[in-house]
Amino acid sequence: MKFTRIPAVAALAALSALAPLPAHAHGFAGDRFFPATLLTDDPFVADEMSAPTLTLDPKAIDGSETFGLDFNLSKRLTPDIGIQLSQGWQHLKAPGMPGVMGLTGFSSELDWQFFTNGPHEATAMVGLHSSWAHTGRVQALGATSIERLEVLVERS
């Protein structure tokens, strides 16, 4: 059996890529931690990934059912500036109709956490959110057919 260095080096490189890295906490102002919940969004920039987020909505009044898979990637560019990219897939089934499925609209967001005050345990962030037109099934699933820009302001 002939042993060469190339496979050994490749295996070592692959194993080192799987090594755990230290995690850094975000969302602190002084001694207070601001957790993200289902009702409140993060008032800070972060490195996070939600893949996939599964959603099964209860039946609507007309009997239609919706199932969705969403993907969200948040990345810090600097300690105070971050971006978010989001895309989803949805399946809609109305009674007596064939099921419809496809991508939801793509959206992106640029955030700036401009204020963090430790002694007062307060944070504030402003962002620019964009829903990109014609990046999903517009007629079938209601993805946006127009470009939308929204200014977001979050504080805690």
The DSSP code sequence of 64-90 is -EEEEEEEEEEEESSSSEEEEEEEEEE
| Average pLDDT of the chain to the nearest whole number | 80
* Domain range for 144: 27-155
Question: Does the residue 6 lie in any domain?
Answer: no
pLDDT tens per residue, range 91-132: 988 898 888 888 888 899 999 988 888 888 888 888 898 888
Q: What residues does 110 pair with on adjacent strands? A: 83, 128
* Residue 77: pLDDT band with limits 50, 70, 90: very high
42 part of a folded domain: yes
pLDDT > 80? residue 146: no
Inside any domain, residue 129:
yes
Residue 8 lies in a domain: no
Number of residues written out for the chain: 156
Model confidence pLDDT, tens digit, residues 2-32? 556 667 677 767 766 676 766 666 677 777 7
pLDDT at position 82 over 90: yes
- C-alpha 32/C-alpha 26 separation (Å) is 11
Q: Is residue 131 part of a domain?
A: yes
The first and second tokens of residue 150, run together, are 């929204």
Alpha carbon distance 80, 72 (integer Å): 19
